[in-house]
Structure 1
Amino acid sequence: MKIGLISDTHGLLRPEALAALQGCDHLVHAGDIGKLEILDALRAVAPLTVVRGNNDRDEQWAGVDLNHSLRLGEIGLYVTHEMADVPSPLPLGIDVVVTGHSHKPLEQWRDNVLFINPGSAGPRRFKLPITVALLQVDGRHRQVKFVALA
């Protein structure tokens, strides 16, 4: 199963991001979406799980969760925008934590849990890369690949 991870679009969904996410079985947007149209475009690619970020504040985002747990295949995912909002201890059955906010791609293992920040796919911030991530899941095996967009 291939899971596409995207975050911090801030109103800009690059064609390169959509191209990188093609063929995914599921997509996750880890917040700071910016425009509802972005969610529609992502849903046209694959089923979508989304959380709102610290910049998704007005009424249009009221129905979007701040965090979300889901099971895809044999793994449990926990999604929230900011690393500071990840609970400790994690809920039972969580194998992957997806966050955004920092705009910095991150792949880190902690006690057999894979923490991923796909980086920012939206407007460039400082000199940080513009990326999405692809999470390949085979049973309980998890492997992440970052895709540079610009």
Structure 2
Amino acid sequence: MKRIALLSDTHTYLDEKLFKHLEGCDEIWHAGDIGNIETADRLAAVAPLTAVYGNADGQDVRLVYPLHQRFKCEDVDVWLTHIGGYPKRYDKTIREEIKRNPPALFISGHSHILKVMFDKELNLLHMNPGAAGLQGFHKVQTLLQFTIDGKQIKDLEVHEFGTKGL
């Protein structure tokens, strides 16, 4: 059983309030636009970090983290990417592959819109944790926490930990 903290779009900013939501997590997953390698290193110092680079990330991040991560957590096939879209509106760069070989859990960032939805057609769960940083149009900083136990994805929690401008 693993407890996961999922975030995206930090854009170099890690609010100190974010760290209380990382306590007790076995792993941290970041869906891109980390900002710089120092930001990734701060997260990795808390728990093992699995991450991808986003469109706003520079070479320092791109040299360490790939565009896509496809991996198993417990018995769940996970695909983590930055620009991926969501059910019925998958990004054209991954559309054919996700239809041909869907994961059980598909995670993307980029939109700064927190969204969790089930794709009945592909039988997968899609998650976007919103944005944990300050850059972008979102008003509230968010992240997701959940547990993977065997094949089960459960105990999903949404955490709001900061309001931009306050």
Query: Would the TM-score normalized by the shorter structure come out above 0.5?
Result: yes
Instruction: Spell out the pairing of 1:1-16 with structure 2 (5 A cutoff).
Output: 1-16=2-17
Which residue does 1:114 correspond to in 2?
A: 125
- Normalised by the length of structure 1, the TM-score is 0.90
* Structure having the larger proportion of residues in strand: 2
Aligned equivalent of 2:87: none
In structure 2, the partner of 1:98 is 107
- Residue matched to 1:148: 160
Does residue 1:88 correspond to 2:125, yes or no?
Answer: no
Distance 1:124-1:53 versus aligned 2 partners, 3 A rule = closer
Q: Which of these residues, 106, 109, 126, is aligned with residue 137 of structure 2?
A: 126
CA separation in 1, counterparts of 2:14 and 2:6?
13
How far has the Cα of 1:92 moved from its partner? 4.3
For the pair 1:77 / 2:88, whether they are aligned, the reply is no
Per-residue Cα deviation, 1:21-69 (whole angstroms, up to 9, x for no partner): 111111111110112111111111111111000101x321332211111
Larger C-alpha radius of gyration, 1 or 2? Answer: 2
Q: C-alpha distance in 2, partners of 1:142/1:96? A: 9
Secondary structure of residue in 2 paired with 1:122: coil
Matched with 1:61 is 61
The one-character-per-residue Cα deviations of 1:52-108 (angstroms, maximum 9, x if unpaired) are 00101x321332211111111111110100122444342747211111000010101
Q: Distance in 1 between matches of 2:150 and 2:82?
A: 26
The secondary structure found in structure 1 opposite 2:17 is helix
Q: Which moved more, 1:23-32 or 1:117-126?
A: 117-126
Q: Secondary structure at the match of 1:88?
A: helix
CA contact (8 A) 1:11 1:34 kept: yes
Unaligned runs of 5+ in 2: 85-90
User: Residues 72 and 129 (structure 1 numbering): CA distance in 2 closer, same or farther, change over 3 Å?
Assistant: same
Aligned with 1:106: secondary structure? strand
Name whichever of 98-107 and 84-93 sits farther off: 84-93
Unaligned stretches of 5+ residues in structure 1:
none
What RMSD over aligned residues (CA atoms) do the two structures have, in Å? 1.7
**3-state SS of 1:149 partner:** strand
SS of the residue 1:130 aligns to: strand
- State the TM-score, normalizing by the size of structure 2: 0.82
Q: Is the contact made by 1:124 and 1:130 (CA closer than 8 Å) also made in structure 2?
A: no
The one-letter amino acid of 1:25's match is D
